Structure 1
Amino acid sequence: MKLNRRNFLKASALTGLFAAGATQTKPVLNAFSTKAQASEENKPQGEWIASVCQGCTAWCAVQIYRIDGRATKVRGNPNAKANHGHSCVRSHIGLQQVYDPDRVKQPMKRTNPKKGRDEDPKFVPISWEEAMDTIADKIIELRENNETHKFSVWRGRYTALNGILYGAMPKIIGSPNNVSHSSICAESEKFGRYYTERYWGYADYDHENTYYEIFWGGDPISSNRQVPHTASIWGDLKSRAKLACIDPRFSTTAAKSDEWLPVIPGEDGALATAIAHVLLTEELWYKPFVGDFKDGVNRFEVGKTVNEDDFEEIQTHGVVKWWNLALKDATPEWASERAGIPAEQIYRVARDFGRAAPKCISFSSPGSSMVVRGGYTAMAQAALNGLVGSADNEGGVICGGESCPVNDFPEFESYIDSIAEQGNSMERIDHGGRLEFPALKDSKSGGVKLTNTVADAILNQDPYDLKVVLSYWTNFNFSNQGTERWDEALAKIPFMVHMTVNPAEQTHFADIVLPVPHSMFERLSPVRGSNGNLHTHLHMQNKVIESPFDIKVDETEIPWMIGEALEKKGFSNLIDYFRNEFADPETGKSPENEEEFNEIATKMYTQPLWDLSYEKEGDKINGWEELKEIGTWNSIPYRFRQKWDGNWGTETGQFEFYSETLKAALQEHADKHNATIDEVMEAAMQTERGEMAFVPHYEPAYRVGDDEKDKYPFIFSEHRSKLNREARSANTSWYQEFKDVDPGDEAWDDVVKINPKDAKELRIQNGDNVKLTTPTGTITVKAKLWEGTRPGVVSKCYGQGHWAYGHIASLDRKKQIARGGNNNTILAPVHEAMSGSGARHGGQTRVRVEKV
């Protein structure tokens, strides 16, 4: 059948909301034309349209080739300086996602009032009008009962327009409960940078001028931020610099590095402090940045304390305190016993790193710090950049960037009435800021909004229950550790709206399902990404194609329509805010419908970039239409050493090894609970007390199941796939067919990688079905005997295990038979409490492996 718009709709409609489950392991594919070649005169003519890939947090600018209204090809946007005009494989997989016949095609509602994984929701189609009317009824009911705090917006991935649905809407309705996915993304590594140089965000790296890089638990040419940029310059980097990869798995980056240090998961902090010890004892710190002993004689000797008055610092604060408290005994021999890395290799890496100063990089990533107690590990990794003078320096690490001038959305406080004000004053649902969860973003107690605690809050009604939830770009009962808790919690929510592209595991528990655009192809939105290649940037998602489905934009159009429905029921504050405060910057016209609102909000936010009357340093773009056409705005390259000479923003104004900034934040959190800082450390599951709380230090790995080593003899460690669009790729054949590009993995399968020495003792052969059991849960996958994971550790990629999402992601959607296992089913729902980060990388969970 020719795949035109009409036939595509017809074929898609036959699948309903959920496609029938595939009973075969590998679907039959027919990807090639029966014609040998196309004639030149029939060759289709197309055009490149700018957009943004949000397959990971790089958020790269791309261009999409459109022929006869269809998206056919993806490439990097040549105007984008952050990614050199390159894109990675994730962007190409988006093509299969947008034309996935398993997508949600129209609004649906649940007709079975019972909720549970074993319950058929019995979804039926409804109109957008009915959906909005139902949602408005539920919100009005909360307002009438003074329960607006029991309304919540859950945010997954997002664009720069999120301030409307996620920011303004819950506050105008009257709820403090806008819950983000961010704490399950990367907050712990941000913690390390913030409490050394006061920057909460993703770092940028001057790869093109560095001479040594240490990659902490990251795989930057596969699955970390800036993948297209890093991969495109890797050859030059490899020819110029030495590279060390610290990872329990032999990743792609490890395979291409000079040193692989297969650390015991969760023990990276021992390595970081030992490297710092060597830099100081062997006089390899960068003196023009850190300073020196007044008489020039190095007094950093193993086991000996140093008089602080003997050392004169320049750009830093507390190096001698740090030494005395945490480093003087942290020798490579000491670290070797804890981290499982030979002392001689630790010495070698530390010496080579120090000799490259200041053009060297300590590259932090979630793999090493998103574990219980990982915040101090991240601090130690960040502190290394201070010791070698690479912080905010050429060839080093950039925390911040040049300005990206955009407008804030209009203030909405005047639209908050007394009912909403009372609701907004209630305690948040996520427990952030409680004694045991400091979650210290921006020095604020509870600054990070915890995600995975929400399931516990719902189950225990602590501090209360939720009654109405609007959730978008989320799949929380798949993407959070302890998935069964989430299934139970979602079943308890009386009314949930899931705005989603594909029917996911979370959709199964929804009362209303709303189809939304695929971000790369079907929406107009600005995306302000993290810095890359020394450039700050903003990219534009354009509406490249007319969707064959009945979709609305989640962050703008749906809130507008809810506002209109609320107005009909007597509450006009939300729609009044949209109508009165938003206006087209060019014409002054206020929006009259949801489509106009989406465009006007985008124009208002981006006006400083396309309006030449605004002064800025960066690309000169002449008008709104030109911004959409070019698809990206780039700042000037970063100017190094802007923070030097007292401009770090910390409590001392210096780069802090002894963090007065963290000390003040912890004291404020302790005072809030009438507690001491030692009591905070204990509640947050940290082992050290006293002044150790204020310096980067080693915290021994915490492991669930550690008290039953005979029962759970292995450490479970997970990693990400270079093909994985945040677990959203699994319903594409390209993801499954090429899954083996990840070292040790297999196409169309889900494997746990076991060192052959361990497999021999377990009498497990390659390809055997094995059961992985932790104190949290059990999954069944295939065994892969592989030397690329260290003995005592089993390693598994994240992304498989969907029992929903479509006929490729699961083996049988109707019977809920997953393809492989979801790591989060067996990962313990614990946290890195200091930062509020979820502990998602597995080093905290022990596992038993049994042949099935």
Structure 2
Amino acid sequence: MKLFQTLINRRRFLQSSAAVGASAGAVATGITGLKGFSPVSEARAQAPRGETTITKNVCAQCPARCGIDVYTTDGRVHAIYGTSDNPISNGKLCPKGHLGSYFLYDPDRFKGPMKRTNPNKGRDEDPGFVPISWEEALDTVAERLNDLRRRGESHRFSMFYGRGWGSSDAGIQYPFGELYGTPNAAIGHSSMCADGSKKAKQATDGNSSYSSYDYRNANYLLIIGASFLEAFRPYNNVMQMWGHMRTKSPKTRVTTVDVRMSPTMAASDRALYIKPGTDGAFALAIAHVILTEGLWDREFVGDFTNPNRQFVGGRRIPANSFNEKWVHGLADWWNEELLERTPEWAEEITGINAEDIRRTAIEFGSTRPAVALFERGATGHSNGTYNGMAIHSLNALVGSLFAEGGIGYQVAPSYGALPVEVSDYMDDYAKNGAWKDQPRIDMKGTDRWPMVGNMMQECAINHLNADPYTLDTAMFYYTNPIWSAPNPQVWEEALKNVFIIDTSPFPGETAMYADIVLPDCTYLERTQDVPTYPFEGWPMAELRTPAVEPIHDTKMYGDVIIELGKRIDGPMGDYYRELGSVENYIRHLAAGFADDPGDNGVDGFESWKEKGVWYKKPYKWRQIRGEFYEWDGQRYSRQMSAEEVQEHLLKTPSGKFEVRSGFLEEHAAYIEEELGIPRERAGLVQWVAPVYTGGDGDLHFITPKTPLHAEGRGANIPQQMMVHQPIVGGRNTVYLEVHPETAKARGINNGDRVRISSDIGSIEAECRFVASHRPDTLVLPFEYGHWAQGRWAKGRGPGNSSEITANISDPISGLASYYTGKVKLERA
């Protein structure tokens, strides 16, 4: 092989030499016009382009938080690569990670603060924006807030945010609310994102969080309703781990359960199509088989007091016959729920063949370590929390909680203290003002929504109904509910009579309603702390530093909040003057690293800026064969007490994984009223049928995210739209994916314009046949349908799927039921 390559290279060299020699000779003797030859210009060195700098930053196009190296030459960003020594990116990026410069140089960005001159608001109204100075913009907002406070109406000010990155943006909002005096600072978008999975875990293991995963050592993945190879966090690293899992020995076996043929399903060992919203029934049948086949992890779960006893379908066990270890309520769960939840029962509900359920259960139960993971494909329904609890319980049955190759939760970074304490700057109004008696505008924590984290999707209708009151002023950061909320038509109406402050760099739909625009920097222009989302569990915090100074007259959101705070009357202004700036804020956070240096030597702000990331491996705790241990610096050697396990890991009332949830039992009366579950059963992990929306629609409607979905901000990037939907050929648009038999039964041909209708509206799209989906399910990837957002986004593609999605939510988690709608399909 080497000899052959040498001969090839020598032949090419001789051919090249002959051609150059002939060309040079022709030029030297004045011979011209010889076919195939042309004069060769004198070689010249490339002109120097200027100094290139490499800045550490963090990608902001999804929640993954990949560390990036940003290359800037002559003051212009021209390349972005994954940071090689960042544990998430490892020198790699996903397809959209390289597009950051297009966000930075988007010609449709806001160039500076703006104020509205047209008092009318609506989809067809030109805001009449005119530029103003930052001083005028901030003074205008501050005077409005001061006036509300003087009138005792500060609760009518709300701050709404989407993707929060850390203490220096999302975190800085909460002290503002405390000092100013509003319960509505801040309301996050988590109820329109993925609160279902967090609430399912809070109900069972006491952690209201996403999970961290030890994919590197997992031998089985059961993926249910999660777009693992498209949008599961952290996406870039998930793809890296997929390559590792599928090539290591033993190879990680994968079963995917979903309603459509996704890239994850296509790459799996087994693909199981499930009826939308029935994931909990599938998981309960898996649990039934694990127990009846004796495959549960006895060292973690516990065992019968009589070794000859076993779980037999249809037969109850004595309550005191099972000796629980780290699972609470197993005997009740079996007797009151699982004993009849056979694969045959689940087949009737889910549409999955009973034998496939049984095979999957035996594989999952007999392969260690094994992980069941899920997202809003399973939880985006009225029964979402119970679906998630059933799936997560499988991790307990096979002993994967906090085990090698299993799941855990993220540990926070060792941040230092701020130079000021909120409590030292609270005046009497902040401590005892009338605002204290007001609920949040979304009614979180009231009898209406007692268990939720946020309910942003309720704010518009509550305002319109003046229930509990109307908003006067609202500020938006990283969220665009006029486009992304379910039934956003209500937001269009509600925000017409609210003073809107929008901070997006981009002219989205909510920004078109703004009275004042305070444009944020893009992520390549910001200084910002970025603690990781749940990744591998050990603490990690990244730092964004600007690759370039802001190219327009923009300010980082955290600095906007600080500057507003300085303008509020009373001691609140002193608090923010003392805080100073976001950089000062972050320097104090970084001071905590001096006493706890990172594995890469980061021990303060300057080294954090240089490296871009601080982290401490390994995960602090580990469950090994049913016992919990703490890392001592060399190994997991110090055994933890039950009290320590409850404090740090299993944070439930019992200190165990609860298949009879104490958290839900505290709200049993509410659950009975909302879901019709008898109070005595409210805490059980159980099957609850979904309630589908859409009136008399006969087809399920699913709106997944694709790998190119850039947090709703990618639609104005022309390079993104050309590859957004590669499987069905979407270029310049997004197709509605329809099973051919479903289309033909309605007289629809491939490529036809179609109308999709629910009981709240209709949109149009172009049809594309996909025979690998369920016939009763339509798929429309979520990204397009904008009437604003920029020249490439506006009016492109199908209608906005949110406009036919009813505003119905899971009563327990509050998660909007994006995947539970049913629609009609017809030719347009």
Q: CA deviation at 1:164?
A: 5.8
Residue of structure 1 aligned with 2:678, choices 689, 700, 704: 689
Deviations, residues 724-762 of structure 1 (Å, cap 9, x unaligned): 111110000111111133x33512112111111111101
Aligned CA distance change for structure 1 residues 470 and 723 (closer, same or farther; 3 Å) = same
The 5 Å alignment of 1:131-142 reads: 131-142=137-148
Residue 375 of structure 2 aligns with an amino acid whose one-letter code is: S
State the secondary structure of the residue aligned to 2:518. strand
Residue of structure 1 aligned with 2:501, choices 490, 497, 500: 497
> Which residue does 2:805 correspond to in 1?
827
> Which residue does 1:69 correspond to in 2?
75
Paired residues in the alignment total: 758
Residue of structure 1 aligned with 2:617, choices 626, 636, 653: 636
Deviations, residues 636-661 of structure 1 (Å, cap 9, x unaligned): 12142248763122111112222224
Paired residues of 1:174 and 1:416 also in contact (CA < 8 A): no
> Which residue does 1:11 correspond to in 2?
none
Paired residues of 2:65 and 2:88 also in contact (CA < 8 A): no
Residue 404 of structure 1 aligns with an amino acid whose one-letter code is: P
**Identity percentage of aligned residues:** 31
Aligned CA distance change for structure 1 residues 600 and 281 (closer, same or farther; 3 Å) = same
Q: 2:534 aligned with 1:524, yes or no? A: no
Q: 2:423 aligned with 1:413, yes or no? A: yes
Structure 2 CA distance for aligned equivalents of residues 194 and 408 of structure 1: 28
> Which residue does 1:183 correspond to in 2?
191
TM-score (normalizing by structure 1): 0.86
Deviations, residues 656-697 of structure 1 (Å, cap 9, x unaligned): 222224323x2xxxxxxxxxx24x12443x242233211211
> Which residue does 1:213 correspond to in 2?
221
Structure 2 CA distance for aligned equivalents of residues 765 and 687 of structure 1: 43
Aligned CA distance change for structure 1 residues 39 and 256 (closer, same or farther; 3 Å) = farther
Residue of structure 1 aligned with 2:784, choices 793, 800, 803: 800
Aligned CA distance change for structure 1 residues 431 and 376 (closer, same or farther; 3 Å) = same
Paired residues of 1:503 and 1:804 also in contact (CA < 8 A): yes
Q: 2:96 aligned with 1:90, yes or no? A: yes
Structure 2 CA distance for aligned equivalents of residues 347 and 388 of structure 1: 16
State the secondary structure of the residue aligned to 1:142. helix
Residue 740 of structure 1 aligns with an amino acid whose one-letter code is: Q
Deviations, residues 280-313 of structure 1 (Å, cap 9, x unaligned): 1111111111121122234311111111211112
> Which residue does 2:547 correspond to in 1?
544
Structure 1 CA distance for aligned equivalents of residues 480 and 661 of structure 2: 37
Q: CA deviation at 1:464?
A: 0.4
The 5 Å alignment of 1:456-495 reads: 456-493=461-498, 495=499
> Which residue does 1:275 correspond to in 2?
286
Deviations, residues 68-127 of structure 1 (Å, cap 9, x unaligned): 111111122222223433221232122211110000111111111122223221111111
Structure 2 CA distance for aligned equivalents of residues 547 and 333 of structure 1: 61
Paired residues of 2:409 and 2:537 also in contact (CA < 8 A): no
Structure 1 CA distance for aligned equivalents of residues 680 and 179 of structure 2: 43
Aligned CA distance change for structure 1 residues 91 and 572 (closer, same or farther; 3 Å) = farther
> Which residue does 1:761 correspond to in 2?
745
State the secondary structure of the residue aligned to 2:560. helix
Paired residues of 1:82 and 1:534 also in contact (CA < 8 A): no
Deviations, residues 410-467 of structure 1 (Å, cap 9, x unaligned): 4313333233332233111101123342324xxxxxxx12110001111111100010
Aligned CA distance change for structure 1 residues 397 and 424 (closer, same or farther; 3 Å) = same
Structure 1 CA distance for aligned equivalents of residues 44 and 68 of structure 2: 27
State the secondary structure of the residue aligned to 1:653. coil
Q: 2:273 aligned with 1:284, yes or no? A: no
State the secondary structure of the residue aligned to 1:640. strand
State the secondary structure of the residue aligned to 1:772. strand
Deviations, residues 560-610 of structure 1 (Å, cap 9, x unaligned): 3223444xxxx1433200233x3xxxxxxxx3xxxxx1210111122212x
> Which residue does 2:637 correspond to in 1?
none
Larger radius of gyration: 2
Paired residues of 2:542 and 2:614 also in contact (CA < 8 A): yes
Paired residues of 1:539 and 1:633 also in contact (CA < 8 A): yes
Please list every run of 5 or more consecutive structure 1 residues that lacks an aligned counterpart in the other structure: 1-34, 441-447, 583-590, 592-596, 667-676, 811-816
Aligned CA distance change for structure 1 residues 775 and 142 (closer, same or farther; 3 Å) = same
Paired residues of 2:694 and 2:806 also in contact (CA < 8 A): no
State the secondary structure of the residue aligned to 1:245. strand
State the secondary structure of the residue aligned to 1:797. coil
Structure 2 CA distance for aligned equivalents of residues 336 and 330 of structure 1: 10
Residue 124 of structure 1 aligns with an amino acid whose one-letter code is: V
Residue of structure 1 aligned with 2:702, choices 694, 710, 717: 717
Residue 574 of structure 2 aligns with an amino acid whose one-letter code is: D
> Which residue does 2:12 correspond to in 1?
none
Please list every run of 5 or more consecutive structure 2 residues that lacks an aligned counterpart in the other structure: 1-40, 630-639
Paired residues of 2:738 and 2:777 also in contact (CA < 8 A): yes
Paired residues of 2:672 and 2:682 also in contact (CA < 8 A): no
Q: CA deviation at 1:819?
A: 3.0
State the secondary structure of the residue aligned to 1:389. coil
Paired residues of 1:439 and 1:449 also in contact (CA < 8 A): no
Structure 2 CA distance for aligned equivalents of residues 400 and 158 of structure 1: 16
Paired residues of 1:754 and 1:786 also in contact (CA < 8 A): yes
Deviations, residues 185-230 of structure 1 (Å, cap 9, x unaligned): 2111011111221111111111111111011111222211021112
Residue of structure 1 aligned with 2:176, choices 166, 169, 179: 169
Residue 451 of structure 2 aligns with an amino acid whose one-letter code is: A
Structure 1 CA distance for aligned equivalents of residues 173 and 562 of structure 2: 13
Paired residues of 1:71 and 1:95 also in contact (CA < 8 A): yes
Q: 2:141 aligned with 1:146, yes or no? A: no
Deviations, residues 353-397 of structure 1 (Å, cap 9, x unaligned): 00103x000012122112211001111111100000011101111
Aligned CA distance change for structure 1 residues 564 and 661 (closer, same or farther; 3 Å) = closer
Q: CA deviation at 1:785?
A: 0.7
Residue 444 of structure 2 aligns with an amino acid whose one-letter code is: G
Q: CA deviation at 1:156?
A: 1.7
Deviations, residues 6-31 of structure 1 (Å, cap 9, x unaligned): xxxxxxxxxxxxxxxxxxxxxxxxxx
Residue of structure 1 aligned with 2:538, choices 524, 535, 543: 535
Structure 2 CA distance for aligned equivalents of residues 352 and 478 of structure 1: 43
Aligned CA distance change for structure 1 residues 695 and 745 (closer, same or farther; 3 Å) = farther
Paired residues of 1:767 and 1:782 also in contact (CA < 8 A): yes
Paired residues of 1:82 and 1:535 also in contact (CA < 8 A): no
TM-score (normalizing by structure 2): 0.89
Paired residues of 2:563 and 2:576 also in contact (CA < 8 A): no
Paired residues of 2:566 and 2:576 also in contact (CA < 8 A): no
Q: CA deviation at 1:39?
A: 5.3
> Which residue does 1:379 correspond to in 2?
389
Structure 2 CA distance for aligned equivalents of residues 310 and 784 of structure 1: 57
Paired residues of 1:80 and 1:633 also in contact (CA < 8 A): no
> Which residue does 2:602 correspond to in 1?
621
The 5 Å alignment of 1:54-453 reads: 54-160=60-166, 161-162=168-169, 165-178=172-185, 179-239=187-247, 240-357=251-368, 359-401=369-411, 403-409=412-418, 410-420=420-430, 421-422=432-433, 423-440=435-452, 448-453=453-458
Structure 1 CA distance for aligned equivalents of residues 351 and 773 of structure 2: 13
Q: CA deviation at 1:618?
A: 4.0
> Which residue does 2:3 correspond to in 1?
none
**Higher relative contact order (Cα pairs below 8 Å, separated by 6+ residues):** 1
Residue 305 of structure 2 aligns with an amino acid whose one-letter code is: K
Aligned CA distance change for structure 1 residues 617 and 601 (closer, same or farther; 3 Å) = closer
Q: CA deviation at 1:42?
A: 4.0
Structure 1 CA distance for aligned equivalents of residues 603 and 415 of structure 2: 16
Aligned alpha-carbon RMSD (Å): 2.0
Structure 1 CA distance for aligned equivalents of residues 777 and 45 of structure 2: 56
> Which residue does 2:659 correspond to in 1?
657
State the secondary structure of the residue aligned to 2:725. helix
Structure 1 CA distance for aligned equivalents of residues 525 and 381 of structure 2: 37
Q: CA deviation at 1:263?
A: 0.9
> Which residue does 1:26 correspond to in 2?
none
> Which residue does 2:577 correspond to in 1?
579
Paired residues of 1:176 and 1:425 also in contact (CA < 8 A): no
Aligned CA distance change for structure 1 residues 563 and 809 (closer, same or farther; 3 Å) = same
Structure 2 CA distance for aligned equivalents of residues 802 and 640 of structure 1: 47
State the secondary structure of the residue aligned to 1:739. coil
State the secondary structure of the residue aligned to 1:276. helix
